[in-house]
Amino acid sequence: MAFDVAVVQFCPDKGDVSGNLKRVGAAVRQASAEGADLVVFPEACLTGYFLEAGVDELAVGRDALLERMVQAIGPLERQVDVALGFYEATDTKSTNSAAYLSLGPDGDQLLNVYRKFFPPTYHVFDESRFVTWGDELGVVETRFGKVGVLICEDMWHSVMPSLLAVAGCDMLLVHAATPARGFADNKPANLLRYESLASAVCLEHGFFVALSMLVGFEGGKGLTGGSMVVGPDGNVVVQAPDLGEAALMATVDLELCTQARRRSPQLADLMARWHDVVACAKRLDPAPDPLT
């Protein structure tokens, strides 16, 4: 199966949920008109990332999100899937979440909401003070097959893409918001790290990765762009500039995943020994926290 994915590099208006929904809706309509079957937006794209104590006030419930997205996008002539990051209101503490929706003449559905597994609380990050973490994998059953979802730091823990590969995902959607820090080769060091991570997991597991970055300046911190689509050969298919809004389009041919996994069968080896790996993990006595 082959389909077209649009990756939107987006600079939200801080705290303006209604206004950002309108802009997201316009971007979805434009991408659909250009042939996109799936449109991917960044982490926290309805509000901005650094909200701190404003998270609860601006968080949106999942049912309300579906209703407001349908209103913001309006009628579509063809079915379009949309994946975006948002702060989710829950009965307890808010979460940093990503929604996967399928919208259009075949019906409007919220297929999945994934909650960030590793909200960072170090350096400039303070997420755990204001959101709680998720405890489920982001595996979405879509019309394209199984799609995996990660949010920002989740991608930096190699166990997460491995789990999604074993779960049967052929594509990873990564929603991110990352302040630029450190420079090498005329790029922010954290963007170089994302490029390296995406290439490595694609090569190891035969994935496609679509990474969407939030951009702009929040609280004196510049958020880096460089959104990208990486193929199962580990090569970047298309990439956005480091700064400013952008929209990318790429064709995802899942047959290339099958071919890559035949050439380099690490995923088959992992799946063959999966229950042994899990048994080892259960017997493992974790080492002390390296930060204490």
CA angle (131 as vertex; 63, 211 as ends), nearest 5: 75
Q: Which amino acid is at 155?
A: M
Q: Which amino acid is at 247?
A: A
- The tokens describing 14, both together, are 């801080």
In contact, 81 and 88? CB cutoff 8 Å: no
- Exposure of 166 by Cβ count < 10 A (0-12 exposed, 13-18 middle, 19+ buried)? middle
Spatial CA neighbour of 17 closest among 47, 42, 44: 47
**CB contact burial 264-288 (16+ within 10 A = b; e otherwise):** beebeeeeeeeeeeeeeeeeeeeee
CA angle (69 as vertex; 42, 23 as ends), nearest 5: 60
The answer for 132, left when phi > 0, alpha when psi is -120 to 50, beta otherwise, is beta
Q: What is the DSSP string of 4-72?
A: EEEEEEB-PPTT-HHHHHHHHHHHHHHHHHTT-SEEE--TTTTT-S--GGGHHHH-B-HHHHHHHHHHH
Active site residues: 43, 116, 152
Look-up of token digits 């097959």: 145
